[in-house]
Structure 1
Amino acid sequence: MSTVTTTYKVTGMSCGHCEKAVAEEVGGVAGVTAVQADAKSSLVTVTSAAEPDDTAIGVAVDEAGYELVGRT
């Protein structure tokens, strides 16, 4: 089974706690198998079983308290 890796730009992350909050919320989106959040670059890399639902990713980022700018 193949995987899809998608990178998103997220604003507002500034520390490890921010990274963890985003990773936990995005990790709960259906189909997501791994999340790597990096506050320094403001990038969130999502690995999923299929093309991720950008709307669901945006809602998860919002739930964590940050803003999804879009894909990079």
Structure 2
Amino acid sequence: MKKNIGLTDKIIRVAAAIFVAILYFIGTISGTIAIILGIFALIMILTSFVSFCPLYFPFGINTRKKK
């Protein structure tokens, strides 16, 4: 698994996940949409920790800086 997520991409993913969590805990989202967005947020957190996005791979997208 070759890493394809850069630092800026990681920050955006974690911020989006935190935003979804905040919306859930203040009661703005609930029900099915909360479950869907929660799963989406968990995927974003997971991909930011492993620095690999499976959706980037087939398209050849790489947000990491070149050495």
Computing the radius of gyration from Cα coordinates, the structure with the larger value is 2
TM-score (norm 1): 0.30
Structure having the higher helix fraction is: 2
Identify which of structures 1 and 2 has the higher relative contact order when contacts are C-alpha pairs closer than 8 Å and 6+ apart: 2
